[in-house]
Amino acid sequence: MLTGKKILLGIGGGIAAYKTADLIRRLKERGADVRVVMSLGAQAFITPLTIQALSGHPVSSDLLDPAAEAGMGHIELARWADAMIIAPATANLMARINAGMADELITTTCLATSAPIILCPAMNQQMYQNAATQDNLANLQRRGFTVWGPASGSQACGEIGPGRMLEPLDIALMLEQFFAPKLLNGHKLLLTAGPTREAIDPVRYISNHSSGKMGFALAKAAAEMGAEVTLVAGPVNLATPNGVKRIDVESAEQMLEAVMSQVDNHNIFIGCAAVADYRIASASDQKIKKSAEQMQLALVRNPDILATVAQHKPRLFTLGFAAETQDVEQYARGKLEKKQLDMIAANDVSIQGLGFNADDNALMVFDKESSQHLPATDKLTLARQLLTLIAQRITAQ
């Protein structure tokens, strides 16, 4: 996602400067070309030699560098960057940037660049919450600066609170999202993910092997592509993607209720959840004790969430998933027609290493006129490919 992107990293003078070594590695492994400008204070926490070795470029710190072209490194760096990240953005550094000071290379470059500037604050929690710092942050955001973080937790000073710099991996992932093509900009996507649980009694339930990984990958990718995303999630142990609104549910009936409460506010629906087809006719209020050798449970059909949304007026662009173990195309096309879907993504969950609980997947995507094979890859890449197909289809309508 960052291949060919020119990222200028400005390192401020705070203890979190040690994290920038890992941040450079995370950015470079995603394809970015990283150059670094260090404040004078930053060099007290991490050496320019370390940063140079990791970035592969000389580190800049002198405002008027005799070795730079025309001796004006701040202009060269400012013109070169596709984006500038200040990490850690200390209270002092943000105050100087806010004041428009050009007292060293890092602040001067902020004034000289037309590239977007991203601030990753890091400081003592009391310093962060100080009114002066908050005023500086608010003013910088009004001017168009982007602020990521800070996180909250234990700090080097021994205190606990907001002021920790975001972890390098989180910053790298957010930068991927920042640069992702906004093919779904202006669209509102409603998405279901994970399994449902249908109670037998207070301690037992009927469910399936869905991990929710594909649905959460779709939510993350859709947010990257500019969509406003609402994720209705069954019981899974996955973190909510950045910028995604999440609603947690347990049963199929709860999922249907959550979906229908949101459906009028969206124009795209993806039914990725593995919804249980049946539920117990009458779940027990108390734990059922082991007694007879055999037990019979009466089951009734659950509501069909996908079909319900497909019939809703005004109509949403509706994509369903079909997880099959045989005759994948036949069953998928039948589901596409029967439920009156716009598109369906089918996968063979009998293939080892793909589908349920796996990190990879492969899909056959069908609409009424065509089909397309998306070969096996990681689920986030696959999600981006599938959403690109949806964006193309919507644009063509």
Residues with a catalytic annotation lie at: 157
Q: What residues have CB less than 8 Å from 215, skipping those under 6 apart?
A: 191, 192, 193, 194, 231, 233, 270, 272, 273
Tell me the residue type at 303: P
* CA distances to 306, 341, 342, 347, 393 from 336, in Å: 11, 5, 7, 14, 16
- The H or E element containing residue 38 is strand 33-38
Measured in whole angstroms, the distance separating CA 126 from the mean position of its chain's CA atoms is 30
Q: Residue 60: name the closest of 35, 82, 78, 32 by CA.
A: 35
Cα 361 to the center of its chain, rounded Å: 18
CB atoms near residue 317 (< 10 Å): 19
- What's phi and psi for 123, nearest 5 deg? -175, 175
